[in-house]
């Protein structure tokens, strides 16, 4: 019988990570690589950091026609198959609803929701063609459950991702394909405390575990969902927020 250490080993698997050029996406790609996966690191324009294991890089605007097929094609050219997909690429502009024009709304939905659907559809078709099986993870947000001021369009898109994963889990389950979401809380980045000191202070006060998250925290959740340890987990939303959603809001 396999041990837990064997089940979390991603050796022999090929994982596509979108938005892997920096931040959360770079952390996810690094953790997948450290777990033994061959990683296809997508970015829109910035490239990706070196990884410890086998890796290929691909650049594409995922809202453009043909982009999902190009990413799938790059993965197949490099490694011959796809076993996992982490849909991380997205944007997070701020705007009140009163100031939000149709073009800005459409950009958010196209980037953070529609592009994820298109990538999921393309990769799931490839997984089914390979004989079935695989794991797809959407990076949502705790704002998909509880919105923040001036993030209404972002929260709407992330809530859509949570339901998209549940619906995709239902449809792709017969092919052995699992689909889940990871919903991070506030993730630290260089300069965040200088740029938003009051927000960071409020987060520390609200988080039972007393700190912001790291890209590696999100990456470890993704490795779990991509691995054999999560073999019977599909349609779930894994919240990675240091306990903030457990904090009373009244």
Active site residues: 141, 154, 158
3-state SS of the chain is CCCHHHHCCCCCCEEEECCCCCHHHHHHHHHHHHCCCEEEEEECCCCCCCCCCCEEEEECCCCCCCHHHHHHHHHHHHHCCCCEEEECCCCCCCECCCCCCHHHHHHHHHHHHHHHHHHHHHHHHHHHHCCCCEEEEEECCHHHCCCCCCEHHHHHHHHHHHHHHHHHHHHHHHHCEEEEEEEECCECCCCHHHHCHHHHHHHHHHCCCCCCECHHHHHHHHHHHHCHHHCCCCCCEEEECCCHHHCCCC
């Amino acid at each position: 019988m396999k041990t837990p250490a064997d089940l979390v080993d991603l050796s022999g698997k090929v994982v596509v990570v979108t938005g892997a050029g920096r931040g959360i996406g770079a952390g996810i790609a690094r953790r997948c690589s450290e777990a033994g996966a061959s990683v296809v690191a997508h970015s829109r324009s910035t490239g990706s950091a070196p990884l410890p294991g086998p890796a290929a890089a691909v650049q594409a605007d995922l809202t453009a026609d043909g982009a999902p097929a190009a990413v799938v094609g790059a993965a197949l050219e490099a490694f011959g198959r796809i076993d996992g997909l982490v849909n991380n690429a997205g944007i997070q502009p701020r705007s009140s609803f009163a100031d939000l024009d149709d073009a800005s709304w459409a950009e958010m939905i196209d980037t953070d929701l529609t592009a994820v659907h298109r990538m999921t559809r393309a990769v799931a078709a490839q997984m089914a063609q390979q004989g079935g099986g695989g794991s797809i993870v959407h990076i949502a947000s705790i704002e998909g459950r509880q919105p923040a001021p001036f993030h209404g369009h972002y929260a709407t898109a992330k809530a859509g991702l949570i339901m998209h994963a549940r619906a995709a889990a239902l449809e792709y389950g017969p092919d052995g394909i699992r689909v889940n979401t990871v919903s991070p809380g506030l993730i630290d980045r260089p300069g965040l405390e200088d740029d938003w000191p009051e927000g960071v202070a409020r987060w520390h006060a609200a988080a039972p575990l007393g700190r912001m998250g790291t890209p590696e925290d999100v990456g470890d959740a993704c490795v779990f969902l991509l691995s054999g340890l999560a073999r019977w987990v599909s349609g779930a939303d894994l919240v990675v927020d240091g306990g903030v959603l457990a904090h009373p809001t009244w």
